[in-house]
């Protein structure tokens, strides 16, 4: 059978291509490699120093596109996978391939695809290659727009699990309508209204020796957004029927999630407010996996995403079993020529966010909260729980002094509850204050120097940190950066993390060579930001696209 298929494919090649000529082939390539040296402080000791010494993650995508047809594939080769990635990524193969065609408004995808319904809290398949995250579907997706403003999507498939697929079958449907686009009588009014709804269900056989588990787990979501001039208000609510899993300790409680946003913005001023409540909303393609690798949904962390090295030491991650939180974000530009603004104006960014546990009460006197095989607990929707998970305030002020010099000052105050947030274990509430001063100086056209001075002060966990960075760039091709993080407040181990990196960019091809120690986190030098795993030694990163 395989041979017949193979023959057919080969013989149909020329025929097939005639029907889809005038197409374009494009693609990209990325390779990150690392030569490792032992480093006890980073947890790279002789016991787990990779015997290969040299590890590499690489992939390439090829896409073929015509006006109404596209096909693509990705080949991955990890020999062996970099430290910090799951070992199940060791190996090579075609991990993504699809064909898609569009006829009379019907858009059909066969094979692998990424998808998001609404905000993603009910369904989101996505990739973050540099973090080793990829939960792409393998299946069929249809998209159809029967008339302007109405968009329907349906899909069925299994999710990627490393070089394999997760057990569960996911089925989903989503509809969204823009009232103003769909009804002519509304097309001219200032208020824009959008409503949408989704239904997602998962099937997984019940082989549990103790519990009778639901083999089909259904969930639904509804959402709206209203835009009126400078205002926007929107919300999404998700409900999931009982779904006992390793993450929720096999309780039979339903799950709920609510995310609401309000924003106002005009020239030089932007304010956004967000609130969320998440209760038992882990939704996995395999109920027995407690990790994130085959999540059907995506629960966004409503906190600011930082890029300064010391500000990324205590990041928040959503607690899927239950949390409530708020965020306020302000972006303001003090006008040029005003008393405070000076000649060039002043930029101000302020952010406040927090996250608390949800209130939980036992279902009856004899049952502990969250006991396996029970309904778990009851929860008052509007009542905040006793535990504070996270809180952060940040303020960033940027000021252009003259044509050559720009200063950016940042202050962060973080409360990070390590007993609950996945990351560091039980250090209790870690309270940290972080100061950053960044300067950007133009030496001459196309030559610039950028420096960062950072300090983190905390009495808990690993104590104080200091950091310095100097980066020299020559547009459009070269950069050289030297940095050092110093954990001088650490009582056990005062560690330096020196790192030197240099790079060359030509159009879409970029080489970056690094040497030194690297903490895990977002690494922003040489004009790009990317997630990097911890390492010690030489690194080489090559990216290209055409």
Segment 112-151, which members bind other proteins (CB under 8 A)? 114-116, 119-121, 126-127, 151
Contact stretch for other proteins (CB under 8 A) within 1-9, 369-377, 429-437, 480-488: 1-9
Segment 344-363, which members bind other proteins (CB under 8 A)? 347, 349
Size of the site for other proteins (CB under 8 A): 106
Contact stretch for other proteins (CB under 8 A) within 36-44, 108-116, 207-215, 288-296: 108-116
Q: Does 178 bind other proteins (CB under 8 A)?
A: yes
Segment 386-445, which members bind other proteins (CB under 8 A)? 440, 442, 445
Assign 3-class secondary structure to 486-528. Answer: ECCCCCCCCCEEEEEEEEEEECCEEEEEEEEEECCEEEEECCE
Cα–Cα distance for residue pair 406/440, rounded to 1 Å:
5
Among 79, 171, 333, 431, binds other proteins (CB under 8 A): 333
Among 54, 77, 88, 93, binds other proteins (CB under 8 A): 93
Residue position matching structure tokens 């999710």: 159
Q: Does 176 bind other proteins (CB under 8 A)?
A: yes
Cα–Cα distance for residue pair 123/117, rounded to 1 Å:
6
- To the nearest whole angstrom, how small is the minimum distance from the Cβ of residue 405 to other proteins? 12
- To the nearest whole angstrom, how small is the minimum distance from the Cβ of residue 50 to other proteins? 25
Structure tokens belonging to residue 337: 């020529």
Among 21, 46, 51, 402, binds other proteins (CB under 8 A): 21
Contact stretch for other proteins (CB under 8 A) within 55-63, 167-175, 205-213, 421-429: 55-63
Whole-Å CA distances, 483 to 393, 429, 465, 498: 26, 29, 13, 6
Cα–Cα distance for residue pair 316/461, rounded to 1 Å:
16
Q: Does 213 bind other proteins (CB under 8 A)?
A: no
Assign 3-class secondary structure to 90-147. Answer: CEEEEEEEEEEEEECCEEEEEEEECEEECCCCCEEECEEHHHCEECCEEEEEEEECCC
Is residue 417 within 8 Å of 379, Cβ to Cβ?
no
Contact stretch for other proteins (CB under 8 A) within 42-50, 111-119, 367-375, 487-495: 111-119
x/- letters, 477..516, toward other proteins (CB under 8 A): -xx-------------------------x-xxxx------
Q: Does 75 bind other proteins (CB under 8 A)?
A: yes
Segment 267-286, which members bind other proteins (CB under 8 A)? 267-272, 274
- To the nearest whole angstrom, how small is the minimum distance from the Cβ of residue 107 to other proteins? 9
- To the nearest whole angstrom, how small is the minimum distance from the Cβ of residue 265 to other proteins? 4
Q: Does 174 bind other proteins (CB under 8 A)?
A: no
x/- letters, 446..475, toward other proteins (CB under 8 A): xxx-x----------------------xxx
105: left (phi over 0), alpha (psi -120 to 50) or beta: left
| End-to-end Cα distance, the chain | 36
Contact stretch for other proteins (CB under 8 A) within 39-47, 167-175, 366-374, 522-530: 522-530
Q: Does 319 bind other proteins (CB under 8 A)?
A: no
CB closer to other proteins, 132 vs 244: 132
Written as one string, the DSSP assignment of 243-283 is: ---TTTTS----EEEEEEEEEEEETTEEEEEEEEEEES---
Using CA atoms of 326, 393, 385, 199 in order, give the dihedral in degrees to the nearest 10.
30
CB closer to other proteins, 217 vs 349: 349
Is residue 171 within 8 Å of 254, Cβ to Cβ?
no
Whole-Å CA distances, 382 to 1, 369, 497: 59, 19, 45
Is residue 158 within 8 Å of 125, Cβ to Cβ?
no
12 DSSP assignment:
H
Among 40, 368, 500, 529, binds other proteins (CB under 8 A): 529
Segment 297-316, which members bind other proteins (CB under 8 A)? 298, 300-302, 304-307
Q: Which of 133, 121, 189, 182 is nearest to 161 (CA)?
A: 133
CB closer to other proteins, 71 vs 412: 71
Q: Does 79 bind other proteins (CB under 8 A)?
A: no
CB closer to other proteins, 37 vs 69: 69
- To the nearest whole angstrom, how small is the minimum distance from the Cβ of residue 94 to other proteins? 6
CB closer to other proteins, 42 vs 259: 259
40-47 long-range Cβ contacts below 8 angstroms, 24+ apart: 41/493, 41/495, 42/517, 42/519, 42/534, 42/535, 42/536, 43/534, 44/83, 44/534, 44/535, 44/536
CB closer to other proteins, 438 vs 462: 438
CB closer to other proteins, 176 vs 462: 176
Count of beta carbons in the 10 Å neighbourhood of residue 263: 16
Coil vs helix vs strand at 312: helix
Is residue 117 within 8 Å of 283, Cβ to Cβ?
no
Among 37, 64, 101, 144, binds other proteins (CB under 8 A): 64
x/- letters, 227..256, toward other proteins (CB under 8 A): x----x-x----------------------
- To the nearest whole angstrom, how small is the minimum distance from the Cβ of residue 52 to other proteins? 24
- To the nearest whole angstrom, how small is the minimum distance from the Cβ of residue 248 to other proteins? 22
Contact stretch for other proteins (CB under 8 A) within 81-89, 110-118, 204-212, 287-295: 110-118
Between strands 509-518 and 496-506, the pairing is antiparallel
Residue position matching structure tokens 């997760």: 166
Contact stretch for other proteins (CB under 8 A) within 38-46, 77-85, 384-392, 476-484: 476-484
Kindly report the length of the chain.
546
């Amino acid at each position: 059978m395989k041979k017949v298929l193979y023959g057919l494919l080969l013989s149909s090649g020329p025929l097939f291509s005639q029907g889809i000529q005038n197409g374009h082939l494009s693609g990209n390539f990325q390779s990150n490699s690392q030569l490792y040296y032992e480093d006890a402080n980073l947890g790279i000791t002789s016991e787990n120093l990779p015997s290969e010494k040299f590890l590499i993650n690489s992939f390439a995508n090829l896409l073929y596109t015509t006006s109404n047809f596209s096909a693509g594939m990705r080949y991955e080769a990890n020999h062996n996978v970099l430290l910090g990635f799951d070992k199940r990524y060791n190996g090579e193969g075609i991990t993504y391939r699809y064909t898609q065609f569009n006829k009379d408004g019907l858009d059909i995808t066969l094979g692998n695809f990424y998808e998001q319904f609404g905000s993603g809290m009910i369904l989101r398949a996505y990739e973050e290659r540099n973090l080793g995250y990829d939960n792409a579907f393998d299946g069929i997706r249809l998209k159809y727009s029967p008339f302007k403003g109405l968009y329907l999507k349906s899909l069925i498939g299994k999710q990627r699990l490393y070089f394999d697929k997760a057990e569960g079958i996911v089925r989903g449907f989503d509809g969204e309508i823009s009232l103003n686009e769909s009804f002519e009588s509304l097309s001219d009014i200032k208020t824009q209204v959008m409503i949408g709804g989704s239904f997602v269900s998962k099937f997984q056989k019940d082989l549990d020796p103790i519990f009778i588990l639901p083999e089909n787990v259904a969930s639904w979501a509804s959402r709206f957004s209203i835009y009126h001039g400078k205002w926007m208000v929107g919300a999404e609510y998700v409900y999931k029927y009982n779904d006992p899993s390793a993450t929720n300790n096999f309780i039979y409680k339903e799950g709920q999630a609510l995310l609401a946003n309000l924003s106002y913005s005009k020239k030089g001023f932007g304010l956004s407010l967000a609130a969320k409540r998440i209760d038992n909303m882990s939704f996995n393609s395999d109920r027995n996996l407690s990790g994130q690798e085959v999540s059907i949904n995506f629960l966004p962390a409503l906190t600011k995403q930082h890029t300064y090295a010391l500000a990324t030491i205590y990041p928040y991650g959503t607690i899927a079993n239950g949390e409530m939180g708020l965020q306020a974000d302000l972006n303001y530009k003090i006008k040029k020529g005003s008393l405070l603004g000076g000649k060039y104006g002043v930029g101000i960014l302020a952010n406040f966010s927090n996250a608390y546990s949800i209130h939980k009460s036992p279902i009856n006197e004899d049952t502990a909260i969250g006991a396996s095989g029970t309904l778990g607990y009851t929860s008052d929707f509007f009542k905040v729980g006793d535990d504070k998970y996270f809180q952060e305030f940040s303020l960033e002020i940027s000021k252009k002094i003259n044509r050559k010099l720009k200063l950016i000052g940042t202050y962060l105050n973080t409360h990070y509850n390590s007993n609950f947030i996945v990351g560091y274990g039980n250090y209790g509430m870690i309270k940290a204050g972080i100061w950053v001063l960044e300067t950007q100086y133009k030496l001459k056209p196309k030559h610039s120097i950028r420096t960062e001075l950072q300090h983190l002060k905390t009495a808990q966990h690993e104590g104080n940190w200091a950091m310095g960075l100097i980066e020299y760039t020559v547009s459009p091709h070269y950069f050289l950066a030297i940095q050092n993080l110093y954990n001088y407040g650490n009582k056990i181990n005062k560690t330096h993390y020196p790192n030197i990196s240099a790079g060359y960019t030509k159009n879409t091809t970029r080489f970056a060579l690094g040497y030194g120690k690297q903490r895990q986190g977002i690494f922003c030098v040489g004009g790009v930001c990317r997630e990097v795993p911890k390492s010690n030694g030489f690194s080489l990163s090559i990216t290209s696209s055409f």
